[in-house]
Amino acid sequence: MMSGSESVDRTAGEVADWLREQGYLREVNSSTDPSAVTVQRLVKAESAEPSTMAWAGTPQLAAAFDGSVLIASVEAASAAGSGVVVLVCDDPAAAWVDVATALFSHLSADQPAVWGDDADRLRAEDGMAWIRNARIGEGVAIGPHACIGMLGMTLRQTTSDGRAILFPHFGVVEVGDGAFIAAQVTIQRGMFDSTMIGRDVWIGPNTNIGHGVRIGDGTVIGPNVSIAGYAEIGAGVSIWQSASIRNAVSIGEGAVVAMGSIVRHDVGPGELWAGNPARRAGLARER
């Protein structure tokens, strides 16, 4: 994962003070001095790394966290590990988003892309493509006005004043060798992990790829397609024009999604799905 342009470690004590000032914090549960505990990365609650901070709204998530600082609901707080600094808030997700934006913006700052081939970079720049927070393989063609590594549209409404606030994104976009990304395609950076575009993937114009999506090698995606966050698209899949894929849906290897389809459920390998809502219409080889 790319790092911010500056290193600004914060302590759990600073985070607690900020949350208290904003009216989020109910109490601090800790066996150690919060001012001695640093936060270097913001992660999901499943993390088990030192110097990390996450949020948890359920006891299950709190129990899974083995980092340093956890912003937790009242219900979840007691399930956290003994070595974790627990900052108890009524709405831990909103508190996490607000403090991440206020104190840790350096971790999500836009970073220059890393290119496998400088000639590919020059061609993309000639077409006025916007590419940040990305690792681009060799032999990648990117069309005019494409946007790669942009911030996603993940919103959280706070409980304190009703604001709609964006979740910060800390991940990158990884594009495999030989990929073709047409004009005005938008690919969002991952929230925590990478958005992955495999080798020899073709993406048609005006298509949007959400944060955390993973697309397998050799897949073809037509124009005006929308693939929502965390969808898993297997290798050798065909998704035709104007189809929409719901978030977190899995589409198996070699499957075909017909044009205009609205896919709300997982698609098995080699299956053909069509319609609104999309349903299984046979096998892809029967096309």
Active-site amino acid positions: 211
Q: What is the DSSP string of 148-187?
A: EEE----EEE-SSS--EEEPP----EEE-TT-EE-TT-EE
User: Is the Cβ–Cβ distance between 22 and 52 less than 8 Å?
Assistant: no
Question: Two tokens at 274?
Answer: 């069509």
For β-strands 85-89 and 25-29, DSSP reports them as: antiparallel
69-72, strands of its sheet edge to edge: 25-29, 85-89, 69-72, 52-56, 41-42
Identify the residue whose tokens are 């299956």. 271
Tokens at residue 118, please?
């400088």
The position carrying tokens 């600094």 is: 85
C-alpha to C-alpha distance for 62 and 56, rounded to whole angstroms: 5
Measured CA distances, 69 to 32, 80, 160, 249 (Å): 11, 10, 22, 31
Backbone angles phi, psi at 117, to 5 degrees: -145, 120
